[in-house]
Structures are given as C-alpha cells and as structure tokens.
Amino acid sequence: MRTSIGEIKNNEGKEVEFSGWVHARRDHGKLVFIDLRDRSGLVQVVFPPNVSGASDIRLEYCIKISALVKRRPEKMINADQPNGEFELEAKTLEVLNKAGAMPISVDTDGMEIDEEVRMKYRYLDLRRNRLKENMLIRGKVTKYIRDFLIDKQDFVEVETPILTKSTPEGARDYLVPSRIYPGKFYALPQSPQQYKQLLMVAGLEKYFQIARCFRDEDTRGDRQPEFTQLDIEMSFVEREDVMALNEALLIELVEKLFPEKRIQEKPFPRITYKDAMEKYGIDRPDLRTDKNDPNLLAFCWVIDFPFFSAEGGSASGGEKTKWTFTHNPFSAPKPEFMDDLLAQKNIAGILTTQYDVVLNGFEIGGGSIRNHRPEALRAVFKIMGFEDERIDSNFGHMLEALGFGAPPHGGIAWGMDRLVTLLRNEPNIREVIAFPKTGDGRDLMMNAPSVVDEKQMQELGIEIKKINKK
C-alpha cells in the first residue's frame, strides 16, 4: 500500500512504499540522491549502489520505491524543509513512467516563464507548488462555503442549465447552435440570474450554486470568457439581510482558512456611490491604510447606486434620453423610489437596492433586492425604451412567473476567481484557475477555438461566409 510523503512522520524506522515524481536529482557516483515529490510534499531519497536503475532516472520520472524512513542526524536536518528531519533510504525502485525533457521547469514559482508556454503545458505548470496550493485552497474555500450555507444556514444547492436563452446581463452571449432546430440557438448563461429568481417563485427560499458563467467580451485585462460565481438568492429578505449573511460568511471564511490575514475593519464600512465617487473618484475604493501589507484585507460595501444611466452620457432627463440599467435590470429600486419607477419619472434620481462588496479596490461581489411584482419589472424595461411586444417576447416568462405569488427576494453573486486571487496574493485570476484561457480567449493547451468538421457544420445547417484569417 502506498504511503504519502505527508505521512512520513508516522513511519519512522519502517520500510514503506512511496510513489511520486523526481523533483530534483544529484548523482554523486556511488550514491544517487533525489527529491521525491507527491501532492503532499517533498522528501530526500538516497539510493545506495545496490538499488539498480537509480542512475538512469531523470527529472519528473514517475517512480515507485520501497524505502526505510530514517531520521537524519541532528547536524544534517534541513530546518527550512517540511520533511527536513527525515530521509528515505531506498531498497527497491520501479519506474512507473519516464518523462521527456521538460519544456518548463516546475520547481520554481513559474513567474519567470513565458505565460503562453505555461498555459500550453498547463498540466505540467500545475505540478509546481504555488499552483498546486492554489488548487487545494480553492477547493477548501468552496467546501467552506458549502458547509456554511447548507449546514448552518439551511440553503439548498441547485444546478441550473448551461444551455439556456439569451439574457440581458450587459455582455455578449456565447451562442450554441441547435441541430434539431436549425437556425435556432441556445445561449450560455451570463449568470443564473433568471433561474435563481424562478427558484424563489418555486418556493425554495434559500438557494446557492457555485456557478459557471459565460460572457463574450472583448479582451479586458484579466477577465476570462468563463468564470465562477458563488450565486445566492433568498426569499423574504431585505437588503440588510443579504448583506449581513454575506459579511458573516466572508469574515468566517477568511478567519478560518486564512489566519495570516487581517481584516482592517469589522463590520465592513459602507459607502454610498455618491460619496465614493466624490471622495475616491471610483466606485470600488481601496481603503487599505497600508498598501504594502500583503495580509491586510479592506472590505467595504458600496450602496445607493443610481438605477439608470443615460446612454451616450447625456443625463439631461429630456424626453429623448435613452436609459439603460447600471447593474441589473431585475433589481428593485430603494423602496422610497418605487412610485417614481412605476410612474417612470425622476429617472436619473432613482436609486437601486444594489450592493457591491469591494476588497482592496476590487469588486468581488454584487447583488440586489429584486422587483418581485411584474408591473415594477415592466416599468424598468419601459424606461429603457422597450415596446410591450419586445418586453413580452424577451421577458414574458419572468413577468408571468412574478404574477403567481412571487415572494419578495434578493441575492448576490461573488466572483470566486477574483476572491481567491486576492486571498492568495496572486497577480491575476489565471493563477487560481486550473485551465485558464488567454486574455483573448484561446485555450493554448487544447488549441481552442478550432475549426470543426464539415460534417458537423452541415448537420447544424451552418455555413461560414468568410473567415478573417488571423
């Protein structure tokens, strides 16, 4: 039975089997030393001359050994290594698989390597400790969230469709052609917004999902075409309830999983959009008092955003102004502006229930209380200049659903990639995503997007008119 390197301490003086990769090797003629690596750590192995094959093994070979676990003499303890007080004395060696010459080294943090090469060989890149740790801690963050919401708060985790209908979240949709209905398309969800609201109509009351979202945006910094949200929706809540639950979860999660971090201020300070713009010139201020401290976390809430903004920038409020929503068309206005919304007046002055949670100058989440009465949702689209016909064809299902006793509800979504990036002090979200795409949407490892078979295109009834060769 295999023993993992992490269990070495319990096996002193015993001969046990280990399997892993050759992380480093030093051939001293008679004796061959290697550092053996598995997911749980590293340890030095010494191969005496009677173990055959030791001088043939190379970096990143996958090997199996049986070895005696020995404590190193006091003077030779490597105090800076996790298993520095131990050494394995190999008795047998089996090469499970050879490795070719490595295109990238995996024993550094990788920052010195061209990122496109790292992405092409991502399965090797993930062997490096920094990325492995990012994957492990990310898994723990999701588990912590699940345990908190399900066990402590009585939430239900529900999966919503990936093949769905075009939604108005504000970005371009990824479209999927239907083979059975030629000329028709599914869209990949920009977020599960409508489904989660419909789950509230269904009476589930407290929903969450670790949801994949897709937005077809032009290259923008370190965005990804697909990303992960913690998506939450709750019934019979007001703004304060959603904010309180999320604040409690964020604080607990940071304090339990990242004890080295310090939260600058609890409860999180709250700033209105107006104050943030006047004081900091930005709606996601970085409130850290010491920006050189990598372990300081300055959370804040930004609230009281305007509901609508004038497209093209002219907010004169005149009859011809074309309005669009600033955050989410499904949001409710603050209660004192409901009459204005229904009457479609004072449009520039209407404030939304939207709340954004900001960490060290990055928006890590946002949500709102929703319009749960159909006439209020219709008024939003009317203000945006939609004719009734268009409202009914695009959002008829939502308006109809709200008309069947939809409860008051609201929710939020966190950007999981961004949150983990900040908690791990990583420079961009690609470092915490197992298989990220380039800024311009390419998967260099799988080589996607790619041309497909002519037969597949025919089945879909699709013909490419003109290809812009890049």
Beta bridge partners of 448: 443
Q: Does residue 149 interact with ligand ASP by CB under 6 A?
A: no
Nearer to ligand ASP, 297 or 413 (CB): 413
Six token digits for residue 369: 């209380």
Residue 270's SS3 state is: strand
For 236, phi then psi, to 5°, come to 60, 40
Report the amino acid identity of residue 439. G
Query: How far is residue 245 from each of residues 140, 152, 240, 283, measured CA to CA in Å?
Result: 20, 11, 9, 22
Q: Which region, judged by CB under 6 A, interacts with ligand ASP, from 15-23, 290-298, 411-419, 431-439?
A: 411-419
How far apart are the C-alpha atoms of 291 and 175, rounded to whole Å? 42
Q: Does residue 235 interact with ligand ASP by CB under 6 A?
A: no
The string of DSSP codes covering 364-396 is EEEEEEB--SHHHHHHHHHHTT--HHHHHHHHH
Q: Does residue 306 interact with ligand ASP by CB under 6 A?
A: no
Nearer to ligand ASP, 20 or 366 (CB): 366
Beta-carbon contacts of 355 under 8 Å, excluding residues fewer than 6 positions away, are: 239, 242, 243, 301, 302, 303, 366, 367, 368, 412
Nearer to ligand ASP, 63 or 341 (CB): 341
Nearer to ligand ASP, 51 or 402 (CB): 402
Q: Does residue 245 interact with ligand ASP by CB under 6 A?
A: no
Q: Does residue 209 interact with ligand ASP by CB under 6 A?
A: no
Beta-carbon contacts of 345 under 8 Å, excluding residues fewer than 6 positions away, are: none
Of the candidates 234, 307, 232, 239, which has an alpha carbon nearest to the alpha carbon of residue 270?
A: 239
Q: Does residue 328 interact with ligand ASP by CB under 6 A?
A: yes
Nearer to ligand ASP, 122 or 409 (CB): 409
Q: Which region, judged by CB under 6 A, interacts with ligand ASP, from 70-78, 118-126, 263-271, 408-416?
A: 408-416
Q: Does residue 411 interact with ligand ASP by CB under 6 A?
A: yes
Per CB under 6 A, the list member of 106, 413, 423, 433 interacting with ligand ASP is 413
Nearer to ligand ASP, 43 or 211 (CB): 211
Per CB under 6 A, the list member of 189, 366, 378, 384 interacting with ligand ASP is 366
Six token digits for residue 309: 């903004």
Residues 75-114 interacting with ligand ASP (rule: CB under 6 A): none
Per CB under 6 A, the list member of 3, 160, 191, 209 interacting with ligand ASP is 191
Residues in contact with ligand ASP by the rule CB under 6 A: 191, 193, 328, 366-368, 411-413
